[in-house]
Structure 1
Amino acid sequence: MHIQEKSEFESIFEELADHFQEIINEGHTGVIWALAEGCKRICTKQGPFFNKILKGLNCLEPEERQSSMIRCIAKMQKFEDISKEEDLQKTKLNLHGTLILQILLDFNKPIKIVNALLQMESKELKSLFSNTMGSHIVDSYVKSTFVGEKSREKLIWKMKGTYQDLASTKYGSRSFEAIWNSAGLKHKMGILDELCCKEGLWSHSEHGKIIANKIHLSLYKRSKEEWKNSFNSIDKVKEFLEEIKK
């Protein structure tokens, strides 16, 4: 949907707004995704879009159903059709649904979708972030201009206890890197401390080896002080390169 005029887009949105459930039932989820893209690009109807997609998936009311919004949107299935017991890592998610979740995190006020993610159990989030499509949601979460620093920190703490599992799988390691790159020194050291426990269980896997090298795990185990100095040096180089780009 390449409409540039706000009034024209809003007119189309209003025409479709009350038909989200029908559109989803017919399997035309690309239409919903295109509307989400338009809301983001033109900066309009973002609140109404959020309410309409929840309503279309039967997870707007009663309010307690909203705790399942991530699963509903990721699968583009109505509340009554989802199973909270289903392993999100192994299940097939809906491409447009996962793209919509990413877009919602880039809306001007993504607090409800942020809270919904943070209210999920760590195990459930780990499964979502280890899914081929779900792994991209983390990128949007940590990079969004509208997701605050405190919310990013809450996610880092929320994932405590899952980092070894994330680092050891193909798509989980993508999510691990996204979280790692957004973390400050204190949080990085906390993650490293966790990874050092029972290291062999994850760091000898194909993807675990790559992560271990990237985060200089062996150096950290040898000397935390040397690792900190190395980390600070890398930060200074990044700052220097950023200055050059300006």
Structure 2
Amino acid sequence: METVFSTVSHTTYRSLYLNVFRNHLLEYSLHPVGNYVVQHFMRNLEDSVLKEQVVGELVNTIEDILAVGHFGVVDALTAVTIGLSEIYQKKVVNSLLKAFHLQESSKFKYTVPCVLRLLTFEMYSSEDGSTETTTYFGASILMNAFKLQQNAVEPLIQSLLTMEPDEILALCKDPHGSFVMEAFLTSRIDLPRKKKIYKRVKNQLARLAMDKYGSRVLEAIWASADIAFKEFIADSLLGEEQQISSNMYGKIVMKKCNIDFYKRKKTAWLEKQEANQKKQELFKDILEETPDSSDSKLVQNKRKRAETPLADEIDKLFTSKRKTRNSAVSQRSTSQNPKIKEEDLALREELSSVDPFALDMKLTIKNIKKKNKKLKREKPSKKFIMS
């Protein structure tokens, strides 16, 4: 089934949903094996109508699915929501908050830590809750969430912005948390919100640059920052150039930020950054194409392919080629031998409806027999007679 999802047409995919999955998604999601099938089914969805139906069927069951430990289903569900309207996105985010017992606005600040560790508010608030390790699926769910519209993920944004500088630093240096921070910094969330994160890490830039995971977050900050903060980053890194350059990850950061060029020609470096920023703004509309529009194009293209099945296309192709070949053979034979016998024409008409290759073979054999008879009647040349 998992292989079928990536190969079938749009029409067949819809039939699978109507005949197999509709009204059974929760049942399969709770099954120890069936939940993997549901995950692949959702990850291969392209039709926005089907996405809305799937989200509508599972949105209120997230807590039940998390309770049995099938986190991949929730991850796939949040990924499906990316291309939908804000109404569906808000429903999924609210259902997530409810599943982790964070519905009240006073608990929003715990959203990112709880989801990242896949712990409810009560479990996280216990003595050992905050020391629990982060999880892959928790990070993936948050990464998908930060691809939604800003209004839909307001509780998650508030959770990040209320963290202390030390907590932000720990999140940036965490194997899973660093991906969450990258997703936030590269999202479509407005720049003033991101600047609040910049301020919390501005005194820790050297530590980030020399960390395996923190260096990736610093690169994301660099990519999303304005020229003023990029200049601040360059000054901070240049202040600890020797220490950072001796670090394996620090070298990469120094090269990507072009600190050596900044050190030698600051004015030219600033002009280059301004030119790059203008290019980004110029192509902003193209780079930030909405998921809805790209999804609709995929669906339309797939729908067009589905309207003409592949088997029919192949049959039409061979039929047209067969007709073309038959006419070509007929014209060639007639032009080469205007006095073609009536029996050859009858044979051609009989075989043309079956196979053009059989026609060629039959006529070729007949011509060879005629040539052999002609050769037998001719006397051999003296030149080849043995003495």
Would you say same fold, with TM above 0.5? yes
Amino acid at match of 2:202: K
Q: Deviations over 1:190-213 (max 9, x none)?
A: 122222334444332110111112
Aligned to 1:50: 93
Aligned to 1:176: 218
Please list, as runs of the form range in 1=range in 2, the aligned pairs for 1:1-246 lying within 5 A after superposition.
Answer: 1=42, 2-6=44-48, 8-43=50-85, 45-61=88-104, 63-82=105-124, 85-86=130-131, 92-108=133-149, 109=151, 110-145=153-188, 147-232=189-274
Shift of 1:4: 4.6
Higher mean displacement: 72-81 or 210-219:
210-219
Q: List runs of 5+ in structure 2 lacking aligned partners.
A: 1-41, 288-387
Shift of 1:179: 0.7
Q: List runs of 5+ in structure 1 lacking aligned partners.
A: none
Shift of 1:189: 1.0
Q: Say which SS state the counterpart of residue 161 (structure 1) adopts.
A: coil
Contact 2:206 2:240 in 1 (8 A): no
Contact 1:203 1:209 in 2 (8 A): yes
Contact 2:245 2:251 in 1 (8 A): yes
Q: RMSD of the TM alignment (CA)?
A: 2.9
Shift of 1:80: 2.1
- Scaled by the length of structure 1, the TM-score of the pair is 0.82
Shift of 1:178: 0.8
| % identical aligned pairs | 27
For these two proteins, the number of residue pairs brought into alignment is 238
CA distance in 2, matches of 1:9, 1:40: 10
CA distance in 2, matches of 1:6, 1:216: 43
Shift of 1:182: 1.1
Q: Say which SS state the counterpart of residue 45 (structure 1) adopts.
A: helix
Higher mean displacement: 208-217 or 181-190:
208-217
Which has a greater percent of helix? Answer: 2
Shift of 1:65: 1.9
Q: Say which SS state the counterpart of residue 148 (structure 2) adopts.
A: coil
Amino acid at match of 1:122: P
- Scaled by the length of structure 2, the TM-score of the pair is 0.55
CA distance in 2, matches of 1:127, 1:227: 32
Contact 2:143 2:183 in 1 (8 A): yes
Q: Deviations over 1:13-37 (max 9, x none)?
A: 3443333222112110111111111
CA change 1:124–1:214 in 2 (3 A) is same
